[in-house]
Structure 1
Amino acid sequence: MTHPLLARLTAELGWTAVDDDGSFEAFCMGPGEHALLIPGDPARNLETLDAAVILPELAQAFQNRFDMGVVADLAYDRPAREKVDVWPTPSLIFFRDGKQIGDIAKIRDWDDYIARTRAILDAAEAA
């Protein structure tokens, strides 16, 4: 069963649920900018639920510049991490036009989230 804070991301906020290779490809590899939360297991990692609260605020701070998705099935957590080669959870992985452009692993303070997100998006834009 999915924790209510994680379920809220898809049910209330409309984030895309990524739970298999097909939904991963459809969300991450499409045109535009996307951010995928790989939350990890909330029963084993207390930071997972922090991410579920913080990251909606981050998306809003960037005026929904990027679409948000979440690995919604714990069974797909490891395959998703293998695809992006980012192992710590929770992790936020950024994509632009089908290419992985950066990530933010673990919980950070607010200013660090803002600075890292801006750096990822700006560096990829300049490339």
Structure 2
Amino acid sequence: MAVSVIDRLIEIEHCPLITADTVDLFLDGSGMAVLFFTGDPKQRPESNDVAVVLRELASVFPGELRIGIVDQAHEAALKARFGVLVVPTLVYLREGRFVGLIPRIQDWLAYVEKTRAFLAAPAPA
């Protein structure tokens, strides 16, 4: 059976599945964390496209991004906390503080430029 790109991030590339109970522990780590709000990929096929982009971003910025996949069962509880209005969305946080987000599928260069800007931004106060 084929493995979806999102499942690959979780199972093969060991990106943790984030729940309302584990999000704070995940965000306590150093560096830039990226929360991936996928929505239901069956209803929103672009979620798989964003998953591919996220894998590529990890290779363009090696060791600079800690990626967590938000468990679909916990998305509703976490959306308001992180300002997510649509899915899929990538939410960037440093030291648990919001830095920015990228909603839906974007042009590849937009992901690279925004990620670079988020990484270069001073730590939120």
Equivalent-residue separation in structure 1 for 2:80 and 2:124 (angstroms): 27
1:125, CA displacement in angstroms?
A: 4.6
Does the 8 A contact of 2:89 with 2:101 survive in 1? yes
**1:56 corresponds to:** 55
Unaligned 5+ segments in structure 1 are none
Give the match's secondary structure for 1:124.
coil
What is the total number of aligned residue pairs between the two structures?
123
Unaligned runs of 5+ in 2: none
Contact 1:16-1:70 within 8 A present in 2 as well:
yes
Q: Which one has a larger percent helix, Structure 1 or Structure 2? A: 1
1:5 correspondence with 2:41: no
Provide the TM-score with structure 2 as the length reference: 0.88
Q: Under a length normalisation based on structure 1, what TM-score does the superposition of the two structures give?
A: 0.87
RMSD of aligned C-alpha atoms?
1.8
Write out per-residue CA displacement over residues 6-43 of structure 1, whole angstroms, 9 at most, x where no aligned residue. Answer: 1111110111110x222111112433221111111111
* Letter of the structure 1 residue corresponding to residue 88 of structure 2: P
Q: Does the 8 Å contact 2:34/2:93 carry over to 1?
A: yes
1:94 corresponds in structure 2 to 92
What residue number does 2:80 align with?
82
Matched to 2:12, the amino acid is: E
| CA–CA distance in structure 2, aligned partners of residues 126 and 48 of structure 1 | 28
